[in-house]
Amino acid sequence: MTGVVGEWEVRIKTPIGSLDVTYEFVDDGGSLRGSASSKSETVALQDIVVAEAPGGHRVTWRQSVTKPMRLHLDFDVVIDGDRMSGHSRAGRLPRSAVTGVRRG
């Protein structure tokens, strides 16, 4: 879990343009909690799961947003050191590429 904890500067390349979002993962006494903050809102992450994966940790979570539109998103990324890559998906919409780097 320690490989995931921290603040992350993340870019999500969606069909309507790129979004820059700050993610924070916190060790809360042995369980992981997280949040996503954009210019317009901050939302809690749900159902965070961390598993060992080739090249790092595979992390999945769900989140709901209301801006720029109301969506329920599923994320699936691999964290390798201070880098994150993977994708997100909103229902039947095409997958969006996710990349990020850990702050500090």
Which one has a higher pLDDT value, 91 or 8?
Answer: 8
Q: Percentage of the chain surpassing pLDDT 90?
A: 73
Number of structural domains found in the chain? 1
User: Has residue 1 got a pLDDT over 70?
Assistant: no
For residue 1, being part of any structural domain is answered with no
Q: Apex CA 82: angle with CA 24 and CA 77, to 5°?
A: 70
- pLDDT band of residue 82 (cuts 50, 70, 90) is very high
pLDDT tens sequence across 7-44? 999 999 988 889 999 999 999 888 999 999 999 899 99
The amino acid occupying position 67 is K
**What pTM did the predictor assign?**
0.92
Domain contains 46: yes
Q: Which domain holds residue 95?
A: 6-102
58 and 74 Cβ atoms separated by less than 8 Å: no
Residue 81 lies in a domain: yes
Quote the pLDDT of residue 68.
75
The two beta strands, 6-14 and 96-102, are antiparallel
pLDDT band at 54 (very low <50, low <70, confident <90, very high): confident
Report the CATH number that the domain containing residue 94 is assigned in CATH.
2.40.128.120
Q: Is the pLDDT of residue 2 over 80?
A: no
Q: Specify if 66 maps to a domain.
A: yes
